[in-house]
Chains A and B, each alone.
Chain A
Amino acid sequence: MPVQQVPEHHHITSEQWDELAADPEFRALVRARRVFVVPMMLFVTVFYLALPIAAGFAPGIMSRPVLGSLTAAYLFALAQFPVGWLVLALYLRRSRGYDLTAARCRKHEMEEIRG
């Protein structure tokens, strides 16, 4: 979707920006994003940092073969890729909804600016 909303965006006054920021639909969009992104970011951080912490501080456990000759550490490292792609897929699916709401907010605001 091309960003072709307000070419004259310099003329949006700070009152108008504040008005938009208070728009319930916009606030809901910000909240929806936050509710998804914050837990995801926490999960990614924990899932990633668990690997160096476990491999560094518990090398004995992480050196055990768990799948054929694959060790727990190597399996965990390889798992970072499908898990990362899964987070990506979930985010891409969510963001379709965000794009629609964002477009509505923009349209709404443009109508207001034009009076």
Chain B
Amino acid sequence: MQTQQTLVMFGVFVGISLVVTYWASGLSTTSRGFYAANRKISGLQNGWAIAGDYMSAASFLGITGLTAFYGFDGFFYGVGAFVGFLVVLLLVAEPLRNTGKYTMADIISFRLRGRSVRATAAVSTLVVSLFYMIAQMVGGGAVVHLLLPQLGDSTAIVVVAVLMMTYVLFGGMLATTWVQIIKAVLLMSAAVLLGLLVLIHYHFSIPSLLQSATAVTKGGATVNLLKPGLLFVGSLGAWNLVSFALAQALGTAGLPHILIRFFTVSSAGAARRSVAWAMVLIGAFYVLVSLMGLGAAAIVGDDLIGTRLYTGQAITYIAHHADQAPQLNAMLTQFGYIVPKIDSNLTTPLLAAQLGGSLLAAFVAAVAFATILAVVAGLTIAASSAFAHDIWFNLVRRGAGDETENLWVARGTAIVVGVLSIVLSISLRGYNVAFLVGLIFAVAASANVPVILLSLGWRRFSGGGAIAGMLGGLTASIVLIAISPVGMGDRAIFPLTNPGILSIPIGFLCAMIGSLMLPDREAQAMYDQLQVRATTGLGAEV
């Protein structure tokens, strides 16, 4: 019943998004239309689209679940994600709009003219976008499978990939933008509705909600979710938290699929207004996530969050697990179902089911599905513009290729990216890909952010420095993750679970040392022009 409701609602979303794609297809026949939606998106629209591009299923389901289970430490994920936009607002969005054209590599190549600089930036974009895509697809497939058990996770992956290819192939950036806006509206509605229901449950008394969060039963013990230290535990817990905090806040400014959104608006002022709207929406969303997480822990109860087995299945399960029979039988008598395995990803849908019934739970599941789609569509267009505009048009054709060919290459890349992500995601299915999400923010913060900031703000920055910075940051973050407890378990060489605290300074250092060792007079001379363009918008792409 609930599955059917979810599928109907998701079907409506897909129907609307396909109509939007059809409408957008006529307006996406040039490079400017395909990559940048003709730069006609308004600040308000782009703010919603950034929110839709940024808030993934990991936010909606994952962070709510982490807050329900680990309180403060889980909520901190949302804090870092929000603060990241202050870096984008103050340092990146406006100069980016004024100096770039379609891709992240455009910004860096503005005054660093070497072909290898652009190639490295394009490769870094492709690496970050593909990793992010796989994390979204594998995680998304698992989530869809949880929410709609009848649908296999491979089926879910294929459905998501085919839809995202359709949006990008036919509707380019314009269709992607509107899919993200519609998804953001749905996501915000779901969060507001659930937050409101939690408040109603507590008769609008926040003190009593907080009071109940101080004594939550979890695995037989009672924990206070408002205290820090439930997730980042152990002797290195504090260092893990700080390293994670650095990568989480700096990474946002290096995510290519977020950066290219600023090329869709008409001016630096509109870029600034987009960040403003995005910050209002994203901030409100994470505050609501905190409300939902703490509410779920108290209202649903952490021990009951997971896949529930009712009478028949429960008895079969208990028969096969005789060792846990006493507790499970007690659970069955008390609640009418058993939860053999806790799963924090189900926090949001179970909270919805308990407070709003099966219809709301179905809506939440449909929103989660839509969320995955909007994010992967943004990643696909980031990857196809990096390949078609940077590698094909600028490097292979040396800026002389024609428009039609360019667009076919972009569409071809979208297909390759789609097929590649299906193959990789299905083969990685069942593996824990959570490390990929941490890796993406750390890679973006270490490889992309130093180079973007230095190219906008340091006169002596050079092409050699950019290549050293990107390769150094990329290598450091990937190697450190591989030899960390995440990659090697107990035999880890690097003790922290997040490489940020070391790999971000390595990225900056490589970029600076590289620039001093390989100075570039022309790039230094271009710095004045860059500053004039970035600050006044003179000569910016229209």
In this assembly, does B266 line the interface, its C-beta being within 8 Å of a C-beta of chain A? yes
In this assembly, does B300 line the interface, its C-beta being within 8 Å of a C-beta of chain A? no
Most chain A beta-carbon contacts within 10 A, residue among B213, B286, B539: B539
In the complex formed, the residue of A with least CB distance to B267 is: A3
Say yes or no: A84 contacts B279, CB within 8 Å.
yes
Say yes or no: A87 contacts B242, CB within 8 Å.
no
Chain B interface residue count, CB cutoff 8 Å, equals 61
Determine which of A4, A40, A74 lies in contact with B90 in the assembled complex, contact meaning CB atoms within 8 Å. A40
Which chain A residues lie closer than 8 Å to B268 at the CB level? 3
In this assembly, does B72 line the interface, its C-beta being within 8 Å of a C-beta of chain A? yes
* Cβ proximity bits A45-86 to B, threshold 8 Å, 1 near / 0 not: 000110111011101001101001111011001101100110
In the complex formed, the residue of A with least CB distance to B39 is: A3
Given contacts A3-B540, A55-B228, A69-B207, contact A85 B266 (CB under 8 A): no
Q: How far is the CA of A18 from the CA of B527 in the complex (A)?
A: 10
Say yes or no: A84 contacts B210, CB within 8 Å.
no
Interface residue stretch chosen among B345-353, B480-488, B530-538: B530-538
Which range holds the interface residue count of chain A?
35 or more
Number of residue pairs spanning A and B whose beta carbons lie under 8 angstroms apart = 174
* Cβ proximity bits B208-228 to A, threshold 8 Å, 1 near / 0 not: 001101100000000010111
In this assembly, does A114 line the interface, its C-beta being within 8 Å of a C-beta of chain B? no
Taking the closest CB of chain B, its distance from the CB of A76, in whole angstroms, is: 9
Q: How far is the CA of A78 from the CA of B224 in the complex (A)?
A: 17
Given contacts A71-B227, A81-B82, A81-B287, contact A95 B211 (CB under 8 A): no
Say yes or no: A6 contacts B539, CB within 8 Å.
yes
Which chain B residues lie closer than 8 Å to A53 at the CB level? 238, 242
Those of A1-34 within 8 Å (CB) of chain B: 1-7, 9, 12, 14, 17-18, 20-21, 26, 29-30, 33
Taking the closest CB of chain A, its distance from the CB of B134, in whole angstroms, is: 28
Say yes or no: A26 contacts B211, CB within 8 Å.
no
- What's the dominant secondary structure at chain A's contact region? helix
Say yes or no: A48 contacts B532, CB within 8 Å.
no
Say yes or no: B245 contacts A106, CB within 8 Å.
no
Q: How far is the CA of A5 from the CA of B246 in the complex (A)?
A: 39
Taking the closest CB of chain B, its distance from the CB of A80, in whole angstroms, is: 5
Say yes or no: B272 contacts A95, CB within 8 Å.
yes
Say yes or no: B210 contacts A52, CB within 8 Å.
no
Which chain A residues lie closer than 8 Å to B245 at the CB level? 48-49, 51-52
Those of A75-103 within 8 Å (CB) of chain B: 77-78, 80-81, 84-85, 87-88, 91-92, 95, 99, 102
Determine which of A7, A20, A73, A84 lies in contact with B228 in the assembled complex, contact meaning CB atoms within 8 Å. A73
Which chain A residues lie closer than 8 Å to B79 at the CB level? 48, 51, 77, 80-81
Taking the closest CB of chain A, its distance from the CB of B159, in whole angstroms, is: 35
Say yes or no: A63 contacts B228, CB within 8 Å.
yes
Q: How far is the CA of A62 from the CA of B228 in the complex (A)?
A: 7
Say yes or no: A92 contacts B528, CB within 8 Å.
no
In the complex formed, the residue of A with least CB distance to B244 is: A52
Which chain A residues lie closer than 8 Å to B202 at the CB level? none
Given contacts A21-B531, A105-B536, contact A74 B75 (CB under 8 A): yes
In the complex formed, the residue of B with least CB distance to A2 is: B266
Q: How far is the CA of A63 from the CA of B540 in the complex (A)?
A: 50
Which chain A residues lie closer than 8 Å to B535 at the CB level? 26, 29-30, 33, 102
Q: How far is the CA of A71 from the CA of B228 in the complex (A)?
A: 9
Taking the closest CB of chain A, its distance from the CB of B527, in whole angstroms, is: 9
* Cβ proximity bits B432-475 to A, threshold 8 Å, 1 near / 0 not: 00000000000000000000000000000000000000000000
Which chain A residues lie closer than 8 Å to B89 at the CB level? 87-88, 91
Say yes or no: A52 contacts B242, CB within 8 Å.
yes
Q: How far is the CA of A2 from the CA of B177 in the complex (A)?
A: 20
Say yes or no: B72 contacts A71, CB within 8 Å.
yes
* Cβ proximity bits B262-275 to A, threshold 8 Å, 1 near / 0 not: 00001111001001
Which chain A residues lie closer than 8 Å to B98 at the CB level? 3
Say yes or no: A99 contacts B269, CB within 8 Å.
yes
Which chain A residues lie closer than 8 Å to B240 at the CB level? 56
Which chain B residues lie closer than 8 Å to A26 at the CB level? 532, 535-536
Say yes or no: B237 contacts A81, CB within 8 Å.
no
Taking the closest CB of chain A, its distance from the CB of B277, in whole angstroms, is: 10
Taking the closest CB of chain B, its distance from the CB of A89, in whole angstroms, is: 9
Say yes or no: A92 contacts B83, CB within 8 Å.
no
* 21 pairs from A and B in contact (CB 8 Å cutoff): A3-B537, A3-B540, A4-B542, A20-B538, A30-B531, A48-B249, A51-B76, A53-B242, A55-B72, A56-B239, A59-B238, A68-B207, A69-B210, A70-B226, A71-B226, A74-B71, A74-B72, A81-B82, A87-B89, A88-B276, A102-B537
Further contacts, 6 of them, CB under 8 A, given A44-B90, A52-B76? A18-B529, A41-B90, A44-B87, A70-B210, A73-B228, A105-B532
Which are the 5 A-B pairs with shortest beta-carbon distances? A56-B238, A9-B539, A21-B528, A55-B228, A52-B245
